[in-house]
Amino acid sequence: MIDFSKVKLVVSDMDGTLLNSKGEVSQQFFTLFKELKKRNIHFCAASGRQHNSIVDKLSTIKNDIYVIAENGGVAKKGDEVFLSNFLKPEKVLKLIPILREIKGANMVLCCNNAAFIESKDDRFIRLFQEYYHSFKVVENLMEVPKTTPVFKIAIYHFNSSEEFIYPVIKHLNNEVLLKVSGQNWLDISDKKANKGNALREVQKILNVTKEETMVFGDYHNDIEMMQEADFSFAMKNAHPDIKKLARHLTESNDDFGVERILERLISSY
Q: Tell me: the pLDDT tens digits for 58-78?
A: 999 999 999 999 999 999 999
What's the pLDDT tens digit per position in 237-256?
Answer: 999 999 999 999 999 999 99
Local structure of 12: helix, strand or coil: strand
The yes-or-no answer to whether 9-84+193-267 and 89-189 have a common fold is no
Q: pLDDT tier at 131 (50, 70, 90 boundaries)?
A: confident
Instruction: Give residue 130's pLDDT.
Output: 86
Say yes or no to pLDDT of 208 above 90. Answer: yes
Residue 143 CA to residue 139 CA, distance in Å, equals 9
User: What is d(CA 60, CA 240) in angstroms, rounded to the nearest whole number?
Assistant: 33
What pLDDT is stored for residue 1 in this prediction? 76
pTM for the predicted model, two decimal places = 0.89
Residues near 30 by beta carbon (within 8 Å), at least 6 away in sequence: 60, 61
Residues, the chain: 269
List the chain domain ranges. 9-84+193-267, 89-189
Selected from 3.40.50.2000, 3.30.1240.10, 3.40.50.300, 3.40.50.11740, the CATH number assigned to the domain covering 89-189 reads 3.30.1240.10
**Bridge partner list, 76:** 67, 81
- In angstroms, rounded to a whole number, what is the distance separating the alpha carbons of residues 3 and 267? 11
> How far is the C-alpha of 145 from the C-alpha of 65, rounded, in Å?
30
Contact 170, 65 (CB under 8 A): no
What superfamily would CATH give domain 9-84+193-267? Answer: HAD superfamily/HAD-like (3.40.50.1000)
